[in-house]
Amino acid sequence: MSLPQPSTDTGRTALEALLEKPSGLLAAFDFDGTLAPVVEDPEASAPYPGIVEQLTDLASLVGNVAVVTGRPAATAVRLGGLERVPGITVLGHYGAERWVDGRLLAADPPPGVSLVRQELPGLLERTGAPEGTWIEDKGRSLAVHTRRAAEPEAALAMLIPHLSELAERADLQLEPGRLVMEIRPSGVDKGEALTALVTERQADTVLFAGDDLGDLPAFEAVAQLRERGVSGLSVCVHSSEVAVLSEVTDLLVEGPAGLSELLGSLIGAIRAQRS
Ligand SMILES: O=P(O)(O)OC[C@H]1O[C@H](O[C@H]2O[C@H](CO)[C@@H](O)[C@H](O)[C@H]2O)[C@H](O)[C@@H](O)[C@@H]1O
């Protein structure tokens, strides 16, 4: 299988750099929509068939493999069976949590999260949120999902001003996603989380793949890291739900299936380079 070529010079440079020195690569992936196809029920989310085995192969060939997700780290590990990937680092809640080797490091959530937990059900009732709208309590944050509503985009648009007002009162921030709006603590995002990990692991090349608006800071971090001499390859895992990412990334693949194809050819190319 031939290796897809990035559409940018910077992406092509990064691909050459990672093939030349795989041990210097930190490869990081978003979870939902990237490693796992989007489904109606977040608890039913599962990795694309074979992709965790590919992460395992990759982990034996490159410096570092990581997952950077808006999910609690332990949830991503459980749903993804990520403990099967030797040495993987899972950064949860946009970087507020870190899971390595079965150990979870997480700070306590700020008090505003309890206020949101108390007020959110009443808010949905008062504002007439359509049937199918529901709350995912992630412990450190709460997310309002509308994928199951008859008109999911309209339901979300109607709720945004009300959620925004509550987030402000609770001293928290809104995080938009695919038919979801999360109220979460500020102070960290996937870009800062990725930059810190690249720095800590002294990676000289970084690959980040993501599908959603919450991944934008990580794509921006890849661009900024280039200015510090770290080659970067950003991969848009495309869906019809999020259009903007293809404009700021080096390589586009179609959904988790496309990412799996890319990983297969990347693993093949690294192995071929070694032999
Ligand atoms: O950072 P991620 O790993 O991409 O997590 C982002 C959000 O993913 C989940 O919601 C999304 O996936 C669900 C399951 O496929 C889908 O039903 C939902 O519509 C999507 O928005 C998760 O439930 C959220 O908490 C995460 O923030």
Please report the pLDDT score of residue 229 as a whole number: 97
The residue contributing the CA closest to ligand 1 atom 27 is: 70
- Look at residues 220, 218, 217 and name the one whose alpha carbon lies nearest to residue 209: 218
Please report the pLDDT score of residue 274 as a whole number: 81
Please report the pLDDT score of residue 95 as a whole number: 97
C-alpha distances in Å from residue 248, one per residue of 15, 167, 208, 211: 17, 28, 12, 12
Catalytic site includes residue 101: no
Please report the pLDDT score of residue 181 as a whole number: 98
Q: How far apart are CA 182 and CA 14, in angstroms?
A: 33
Block means of pLDDT (10 residues each) for the chain, 275 residues, are 91 97 98 98 98 98 98 98 98 98 94 98 97 97 98 98 98 97 97 98 98 97 97 97 92 98 98 87
- In one-letter notation, the amino acid at residue 211 is D
Please report the pLDDT score of residue 228 as a whole number: 96
> Hey, what domains does the chain have and what are their CATH numbers?
9-107+188-274 (3.40.50.1000), 112-184 (3.30.70)
Could you list the beta-strand ranges (E) of 30-159: 64-68, 89-92, 97-100, 103-106, 134-137, 142-145
Ligand 1 probe mutation, 32, 136, 239, most atoms within 8 A of CB: 32
Tokens (6 digits) for 145 = 């999902």
Q: How far apart are CA 205 and CA 209, in angstroms?
A: 14
The ipTM value here is 0.98
Ligand 1 atom nearest to CA at 38: 15
Please report the pLDDT score of residue 169 as a whole number: 98
Please report the pLDDT score of residue 2 as a whole number: 85
Going from the Cα of 31 to the center of ligand 1, the distance in angstroms, rounded, reads: 8
Residue 245: CB partners within 8 Å, gap ≥ 6?
Answer: 210, 211, 212, 215, 216, 219, 236, 238
Considering the candidates 9, 30, 204, 215, report the single residue annotated as catalytic: 30
Please report the pLDDT score of residue 139 as a whole number: 96
Going from the Cα of 38 to the center of ligand 1, the distance in angstroms, rounded, reads: 7
Going from the Cα of 237 to the center of ligand 1, the distance in angstroms, rounded, reads: 14
The residue contributing the CA closest to ligand 1 atom 24 is: 71
